[in-house]
Structure 1
Amino acid sequence: MTLHQTLRRYAETFPGDPHVVACLAFLEEAERPFDREHVTGHFTGSAWLVSGDGERVLLTHHRKLQRWLQLGGHADGDSDLAAVALREAEEESGLQGLTVEPGIFDVDRHWIPERKHEPGHWHYDVRYIVRAGEHEDFLVSDESLELAWVAIRELAEAHDTDESLRRMARKWLASSA
């Protein structure tokens, strides 16, 4: 199934979601939407990396953005964003035996501010559920200042964190109820 098809299916499940509307429009209009060199914006793939018991999510204290976020990164030309999310989760956590679930879990369009020689641009972030395997002992990569397993229930109620993290936490809790 193509990204366009999976985004359309997601849009049917979450009608009126402005993030998916923006992602679909960008996908249809952009010449190279999966390339980092597309200066106005590009697609990224992220992982909602949940623990084996489904109670915690692994977050990164992102080195460049100085914020706690889900794991993920640039597609670098790859239109299979589920594979991108899985690859990024493995690279950023050092965890082995991860599995990605089919279907989109969440989408988000967010602004990345200008940094050094990189102009400000949009990330069209497609997020997938990735499940930890038997081992949950992570390794911190160069992209992170720190990693931490965070209770999803606490994240859903936190007022001092990123709104998209709270949204994903609420979605997770609603789907597992």
Structure 2
Amino acid sequence: MNREELAKALKSYRTPFEEEQLFVQQFIELTDDPLAFHRDRKEGHFTASAWIVNKTRTHALLTHHRKLNRWLQLGGHADGNENLLEVAMNEAREESGLISLKLVDRGIFDIDKHIIPANAKDPQHFHYDVRFLIEAAMDEPLTISEESKDLAWVKYETIPDVVKANDSILRMLEKTSKSEVVC
């Protein structure tokens, strides 16, 4: 999925969730910015994430992010790579050690615009996160990366307690709770 394909996918992206509808146009406009996929764009840039679920849709893999000290989906910066699907898959492998990741659908699963607090290297800025739905086996060994404090397969019913008021994760949970399991 290159920049043009991303713009096309965003233009056709439909969601029943009002919070996503509010920033679809901002994502589309960002695809025209030459720095959209680079951290150098200080006001905000694209990132990509993997919402990793087990085949039976009872658990999701979450990481306890070291810097943000929150449980989140796996993902990261594009660092110039305009293929956000590739970024999401690479980040999922790097942050989990999982090898047998299966993309459920090549289409965009979810989008979220969220603020990242200022740190020693960067001012406060936005991440325009494009997410993809991925399946993995729960019995495959996990490897915790330097970016994480922990990794865990979390039961769907306990995710709200673990992520607290993270509406974007709760939205992805709702999307996969309603989706059909394909065997």
Alignment RMSD (CA, Å): 2.1
Residues 92-120 of structure 1 deviation map (CA, whole Å, 9 limit, x = unaligned): 00011112231011000001010002111
1:52 pairs with one of 30, 51, 55: 55
Query: Aligned residue for 1:18?
Result: 22
Distance 1:75-1:61 versus aligned 2 partners, 3 A rule: same
Q: Do structure 1's residue 92 and structure 2's residue 84 form an aligned pair?
A: no
Query: Aligned residue for 1:124?
Result: 128
Q: Do structure 1's residue 109 and structure 2's residue 113 form an aligned pair?
A: yes
Q: Distance in 1 between matches of 2:139 and 2:44?
A: 35
TM-score under structure 2 length normalisation: 0.87
User: 5+ unaligned residues in a row in structure 2: which ranges?
Assistant: none
TM-score under structure 1 length normalisation: 0.90
Q: Do structure 1's residue 163 and structure 2's residue 164 form an aligned pair?
A: no
Which region of structure 1 is more displaced relative to structure 2, 161-170 or 105-114? 161-170
Distance 1:58-1:158 versus aligned 2 partners, 3 A rule: closer
Q: Distance in 2 between matches of 1:159 and 1:104?
A: 22
Q: Distance in 1 between matches of 2:75 and 2:162?
A: 21
Q: Distance in 2 between matches of 1:55 and 1:158?
A: 15
User: 5+ unaligned residues in a row in structure 1: which ranges?
Assistant: none
Query: Aligned residue for 1:34?
Result: 37
SS of the aligned residue for 2:30 comes to: helix
Query: Aligned residue for 1:175?
Result: 179
1:61 pairs with one of 59, 64, 81: 64
Q: Distance in 2 between matches of 1:15 and 1:92?
A: 28
Percent identity, aligned pairs only, is: 43
